[in-house]
Amino acid sequence: MKTRDIVIFSGEQFSVPQCIQRIDHQSTHGWQVRYGGTKLFSDHSQDGSGAAAALAAATKALLSRIAKLPAPSRLQRKPSGNKTSGLPVGISGPIVRQRATSRVRDCSFAVSLPTFGASPRGRSVYIGTENTYTVEKYQVALAKAIELREQAEEVYQRAATRAKRAEGRALKAQLAAA
């Protein structure tokens, strides 16, 4: 898991894991865990002397949350405001094109399939040609496109959670060795 070095107001330096933020504001001093909600672990001191114990408690809580909760998803959940087609996120179309070898145009949906740790893959879901296109075929193709996108999102989420938990185990081992 990524860590960063933070120097707090008292001059102490800490190596802080991702998802933990330092809060130093007037009478509030502590570490805030931001994973599956937020929770503040106070220093219980104005001079920062309790910062190390508070960070240890925050890190323990973070590792517990990582072990139990799914990883936060970075996938877009709602269509952008500029999208006018009314189709779900990751689905575009219908796209009409005429191939060089054909006399008739065909129609399809373009589906973006997210892949964790890599660029998204693209799939095309065929609807029909200009001679065979019907509302029923459109609806069947749209349902297939939505299903493909949902399956890819589930696989993405499982892979993200698996990766986050592996990072958590590595951090736990690193802390145990220190």
Same domain, yes or no: 95 and 56:
no
Give the rounded percent of residues in the chain with a pLDDT score beyond 70. 100
Distance CA 89, CA 117 (A): 19
Average pLDDT over residues 135-143: 94
For residue 149, being part of any structural domain is answered with yes
In this predicted model, which residue has the larger pLDDT, 54 or 86? 54
Helix (H, G, I), strand (E, B) or coil at 81: coil
Looking at residue 48, its pLDDT comes to 76
Q: Which residue has the higher pLDDT, 46 or 42?
A: 42
The answer, yes or no, to whether residue 116 has pLDDT greater than 80, is yes
Q: How many Å apart are CA 49 and CA 10, to the nearest integer?
A: 8
Is 131 part of a structural domain of the chain? yes
- Kindly state whether residue 86 falls inside one of the protein's structural domains: no
State the average pLDDT for the chain.
89
Q: Kindly state whether residue 13 falls inside one of the protein's structural domains.
A: yes
Residue-number span of the structural domain to which 96 is assigned: 91-165
Same domain, 158 and 102: yes
Q: Residue 18 to residues 6, 110, 168: CA-CA distances in angstroms?
A: 12, 35, 10
Query: Are 121 and 158 members of one domain?
Result: yes
- Asked if residue 50 and residue 102 are part of one domain, the reply reads no
Listed residues 18, 34, 69: the one ending a domain: 69
Number of domains in the chain: 2
Whether residues 54 and 98 fall in one domain: no
Q: Which of 69, 104, 119 is the last residue of a domain?
A: 69
Whether pLDDT at 39 is above 90? yes
The answer, yes or no, to whether residue 84 has pLDDT greater than 80, is no
Is 110 found in the same domain as 50?
Answer: no
- Any domain includes 15: yes
79 belongs to a structural domain: no
96 and 160 share one domain: yes
- Of the residues 69, 102, 119, which one is the last residue of a structural domain? 69
Has residue 20 got a pLDDT over 90? yes
- Specify whether 155 is located in the same domain as 98: yes
Residue 149: closest CA among 111, 118, 94, 110:
111
